[in-house]
Structure 1
C-alpha cells in the first residue's frame, strides 16, 4: 500500500504542478482540482505509513534461553536472535520538494511541499473565480471610437441615473508641443444632450460630434469625463507637421495573463507595454482584430448577454485601460479603437453564424464596439470600410457569415467565409478607384489569411481556399492596375508571422503585384509553447516568423516622398514592449492603361 500510495502521490503531485503551470500561462480546461483530490488521499496514505527510521545494519546473535517445563525442571537451549540497528532517515529535501511526497523525518519539508500544491490550487481558483467579484456594474467612462476628417464618435457609459441629463460639449484646442504647455482652447460648443442610457444597452450609447475640421485637435466633455482627440487628415493627405501616417494593429486580450500573484485581478500587462510606446508612435488609431474578451477562457461562467457584458466591463474597468485610450499622461490626444469580432467574443472557433449564443454575444459587442465603428453600408452589417490619409481600409467579419468548418463536399452550398453580401462588397471595394494620394488598401481579417498555420487551420482561411483564391486574384489585379499596395492584417494565432502571396509565375500579373500579410497577436495573453507555422509551398511564402512573447502589436507607418509616385509602408513589430522586427514594402508600378483588366 505504501509504495502504491507513493506512486500515486508523486504522479498526482507532478501532474498537478504541470497542469497548474500550463493553466496559469496557457489557459485551457484543467484537471487541477481532480488531481489535487487524488493527491490529498495518496499523500495522507503515504504519510500514515511512513517510518522515520531506516536499517543501518542487521546482526545475528546467539543467546542461551532458560525455560521451565511443567514439572519445574529447567531446560537450556541456544537460540538465534536478529539485532537491527536503525537510524533516523535523512530528510531528502530535493526529492520531497520536487515530488510532493512527505518527508520521512522532517515535518518542515512535508508541510512545504504540501503547501506548494495547495498554493497552486489556490492560484488556479483565484484566476477562475476572483474576476466574478469585479462585475464593474458602476463603471462610468467614455472612449473615442471612429474619428473621420469631419466627425468623431464617442462611446459613453453612465449607470448612475442621478447624473442625467448628460451634456455633450466640445471645443477646438490649442496646438501645444506637449501637455505641460497646453493652454485653454476656444470656447465650449454645445453638441447635444443625453437624457438616458438604456439598461438594454448596458447603460451605453454613442454620440457623434459633427461639423469638425480635418486634422484638428478637439477637447470633448461629457459630465465629468473629458479627453482630447484629433480628427483625421483629409483622404490622401498626411497629418500636419508629419510625413508619416501611423496606425496600430493587434488582437487578443485577457486580464492577468500570464498570471502574477497579488496583481490586480483586472490588470493587463500588454496595455502597459503599449502605453509606454504610444507617445513616440503618434498613431492615428488602433485596429483591434478580435478577441477583446475571452468569455470561455479559462472557464465560461454563463451564456447570457450579461455574462458577455461583464467581460467587456472588466476590460474597460482595468486600471491599465485609460493609459491606452483617453488618459495617457504623455500623449496629447486619445487613441481611437476600431474593432472586428472574433471567436472568443462568441465561442471558440465559432462557425455557427447567427445561431446559438450569437445573439447574446453580439449584444454587448454592438454596444461597446460596433456602435462606434465606422458606419456600415447597410444597417446591421458588421463589416465596413473607410479611408483615412494615404490608406483605404476594409474590415472583415469572418464569424457571422461563414459556412461550417467541414469539407466542401459535405455542404449543399458553396463554402464561404464571408457570405454573399460581404464577399461582393470586398470585391467591389478592391475594384474601385481610390482618391488622389491614397496609395494603400488594407484588408483586416480577424483570422490569418495564410494557410501556413498547421494547427486549427480549418478555422482560418486555409479552410476556405476557393474563396481565398478569387480574392487573391482580385487583389493582384487591383494592385497591378491601380499601382497600389495591398496588405492583409490579421491576428488570432498568438504568434507573429509575415507572409507573402506572389502572383503565379509567368501569369497575367507582375511579381510587384504581390500581397503581404502581417498577422500579430496577442496584445496581452499567452503565447503558444509549440511551433505551428510552416511554409510548405511557394504560394504562401514566409517572410518572418516570431512565435514567442505574451504581448505583441504592430505599428504600420506610411510615407510618400515628395515628388514621388512610390509610397513606402514600414511595419514595426513590438514584442513585450520592445521593437523586434521591421519590414518595408513599396507600392508597385501602375500597369499601362491599354492593358486589358482581369475583370
Structure 2
C-alpha cells in the first residue's frame, strides 16, 4: 500500500524480535535498534510524554511502537503480518490454486417457445424438440446446442419441463460477469480472459436455482478493462472471444450478423438488450449531439423498436440510464411510447428512478448491482430524474421482476430487491395502454 507504515514497522519489529532480551530492555546497547528508535521518534514526532499516553490497544491496533511494551509491540507486528498475508491470499489464491483448467459445467441459455419439452396432461411421454449439431467452441471446447421444432399441444393443460420452475423465468446478467482487472490483473492475453470466466463459473456460490434459469448476457468494461471506450481496437479483440463462446452463443440471435445487441420476447413483453460499450464514442470526445453510447446503427435499431414493437417494452442497458445517457439518444422516443422499463447495473448499488416526460411518468429504471462484489453509493442530482428508492448496502444484490399482462390494456409490474439473500424492498408499477 503506497504511503502505508506497515513495511517500516515490520522491519522495526523484526529487529526487536531478533535482538536479545537485554537489548530490548536497554535499547542503547544495540546500535541498530537505537538508530531505529530515533528514526521512529522523528517520524511520528514522539516524545516521552506521548509514549506514556499510548494504550496497549492503540499499540496493537495501529501499529504504534513502544519499547516499554514488548509483548504488545510483538502482537502488533503479528496483527500487521496477518493482515498482509490475508491480502496476499485474497489477491493471489485464485490465480495460483484455482485456474479451473479441468472445469466442466453446463447451463441454460436462451429458451423460447420452440425449445421446451412438454407433455399433455399426465401422459408419461415427454416430447422434445430436435437437437441440432453442436457448434464448436474456442480454446475451452465450449459447445452450444439448439433445440427447435416444438410440436404444439392440443390438450387442455400443458406440463412443461423447461429449464426453470417458471415457464417464462429468465436471468439477465447485464454486465461485468468477470473483473479481469480486479483485484489485480495477471495477464493481457486471450487465455487470461478464458481463465477469468472459468474461475467465475467454478465458484461454489452458484445456487441450483440460478443454474436452472436461462441466462442471457451482455458485457461491459470489466470484461475488457475498466472504463473501456476503445471500440473494437486493442484489448477488445482478446477479450471478446471468450465472451462470444461462453455467453453470446447462448443469447438470442443478434439483430445483425456480427452484432452483440439483440431483441427477444416473453409473451407480451419485448426486450431490447443494448451494447453500450462496443459502439460508443470515445470518453475524450466533448459532450454534444454527436457523442453516443450506442453508435449510429444500434441507435436506429433501438428507435425503430420503440416505434414499431407492439409489446410492453423493456430496455436492458449495461450502464445506468440516469448516469450515462445524456443527450438525444432515444429519450424522446421512449416518452412517445406507452411505457418503457429500463434494467441496468454497473453502479454497485440499487436505485429506482423515474424519468417523467413533460406530460406523465412513463419511463422507469431499475438499476441493481452487484451480484457478488463490493458495494458503494452513487449520488447524482438531476432535475429531470425522480429517485423513488435507493439502497446502498449489500455485496450481493439482485432484482426480480414480475410482469402481469393478463389484462389487455393494463401492465402490472412488480419489482423485488434482494440484498444479501434477503428481501430489501418491493415496488409495484402500473401503466395503461390503448394500442394492442
Q: Do the two structures share a fold, i.e. TM-score over 0.5?
A: yes
Q: CA–CA distance in 2 between the matches of 1:534 and 1:91?
A: 43
Q: Could you tell me which residue of structure 2 aligns to residue 296 of structure 1?
A: 181
Q: For each residue in 1:142-198, what CA deviation from the matched residue of structure 2 results, as whole angstroms up to 9, or x when unmatched?
A: 11000011127xxxxxxxxxxxxxxxxxx646889xxxxxx975378873555x955
Gap change, CA 1:431 and 1:340, over 3 Å in 2: same
1:534-545 → structure 2 map (5 Å cutoff): 534-537=380-383, 539-545=384-390
Gap change, CA 1:283 and 1:107, over 3 Å in 2: farther
How much has 1:536 moved relative to structure 2?
A: 3.6
Q: Could you tell me which residue of structure 1 aligns to residue 110 of structure 2?
A: 146
Q: CA–CA distance in 1 between the matches of 2:200 and 2:176?
A: 11
1:312-461 → structure 2 map (5 Å cutoff): 312-321=197-206, 323-326=208-211, 334-408=212-286, 414-434=290-310, 438=311, 440-451=312-323, 460-461=324-325
Q: Secondary structure at the match of 2:107?
A: strand
How much has 1:533 moved relative to structure 2?
A: 1.4
Q: Could you tell me which residue of structure 1 aligns to residue 42 of structure 2?
A: none
Gap change, CA 1:51 and 1:346, over 3 Å in 2: same
Q: For each residue in 1:570-593, what CA deviation from the matched residue of structure 2 results, as whole angstroms up to 9, or x when unmatched?
A: 1111111121111221123438x9
Q: Could you tell me which residue of structure 2 aligns to residue 560 of structure 1?
A: 405
Judge conservation of contact 2:409–2:432 (CA < 8 Å) in 1: no
Task: Tell me the C-alpha RMSD between the 2 structures.
Answer: 3.1
Q: CA–CA distance in 2 between the matches of 1:189 and 1:149?
A: 10
Gap change, CA 1:50 and 1:497, over 3 Å in 2: farther
Judge conservation of contact 1:571–1:583 (CA < 8 Å) in 2: yes
How much has 1:39 moved relative to structure 2?
A: 2.6
Higher relative contact order (CA 8 A, sep 6+): 1
**So what's the TM-score if we normalise by structure 2?**
0.83
Q: Secondary structure at the match of 2:315?
A: strand
Q: Could you tell me which residue of structure 1 aligns to residue 49 of structure 2?
A: none
Q: Could you tell me which residue of structure 2 aligns to residue 511 of structure 1?
A: 360
Judge conservation of contact 1:43–1:101 (CA < 8 Å) in 2: no
For structure 2, the residue ranges without an aligned partner over 5 or more in a row are 28-51, 153-157
Q: Could you tell me which residue of structure 2 aligns to residue 191 of structure 1?
A: 131
Counterpart pick for 2:332 among 470, 473, 482: 473
How much has 1:321 moved relative to structure 2?
A: 2.4
How much has 1:212 moved relative to structure 2?
A: 2.4
Q: CA–CA distance in 1 between the matches of 2:279 and 2:89?
A: 37
**So what's the TM-score if we normalise by structure 1?**
0.62
Q: CA–CA distance in 2 between the matches of 1:124 and 1:282?
A: 44
Larger Rg: 1
Counterpart pick for 1:547 among 376, 389, 392: 392
Gap change, CA 1:184 and 1:90, over 3 Å in 2: farther
How much has 1:551 moved relative to structure 2?
A: 1.2
Q: For each residue in 1:302-343, what CA deviation from the matched residue of structure 2 results, as whole angstroms up to 9, or x when unmatched?
A: 1101100001011111122252444xxxxxxx2011001111
Gap change, CA 1:206 and 1:407, over 3 Å in 2: same
Q: CA–CA distance in 1 between the matches of 2:401 and 2:199?
A: 29
Judge conservation of contact 2:352–2:367 (CA < 8 Å) in 1: yes
Q: CA–CA distance in 2 between the matches of 1:343 and 1:185?
A: 46
1:472-511 → structure 2 map (5 Å cutoff): 472-479=331-338, 485-504=339-358, 510-511=359-360
**Which has the larger strand fraction?**
1
Q: Secondary structure at the match of 2:321?
A: coil
Counterpart pick for 2:58 among 92, 95, 120: 95
Gap change, CA 1:397 and 1:149, over 3 Å in 2: same
